[in-house]
Amino acid sequence: MCLGIPGLVIAMLDGYGNQLALVDVEGAARKINIGMLDPDQQRLSPGDWVLIHMGFALEVIDAAGAAEAMAGLELMGRPRDDPPAAGVGDAPAARVSDASAARVRDASAARVRDE
C-alpha cells in the first residue's frame, strides 16, 4: 500500500512524450509524470483530479475521491489525542479546501465554455 496525494490538473506540458502534467497540490504547483496511467486515462484536461505518489499519477479520481484522500491524509497526520476536525472522516467526500474547490469550479466552467 502507498500513500497518494490528490492533485488538480492545471495543464498538460509539452515534451517528454506528452507525459508531464502541471498539477495543483494544496496550492503548490507540481510537475508530475502521467506515464503510469492506463493509456486511455492519459488524456487529462484542466480540472481533472489524479492521485499522485512519488511524482507519478497512479489513478484518475473525481473531486469526491480527492476530498476523501485528503481527509485520510489529514487524519493520519493528527496526534492520537487530537480529535478530528469537523468534516474530516465524517463522509467519503469529507471536504476539499476552499481554494481547491474554487479551482475545480473555475476549471469546470472553462471546460464547459470550451465545449
pLDDT higher than 60, residue 97: no
**For residue range 46-80, what is the model confidence (pLDDT) as tens digits?**
999 999 999 999 999 999 999 998 888 888 877 77
Helix (H, G, I), strand (E, B) or coil at 10: strand
- pLDDT value of position 64: 92
pLDDT of residue 94: 40
Q: Which domains does the chain have, with CATH numbers?
A: 5-114 (2.30.30.140)
pLDDT at position 20 over 60 = yes
Average pLDDT value for residue range 97-112: 60
Between 61 and 98, the more confident residue is 61
How far apart (Å, rounded) are the C-alpha atoms in residues 8 and 20?
A: 13
Q: Using an 8 Å Cβ cutoff, are 58 and 37 in contact?
A: yes
pTM recorded for the entire structure? 0.67
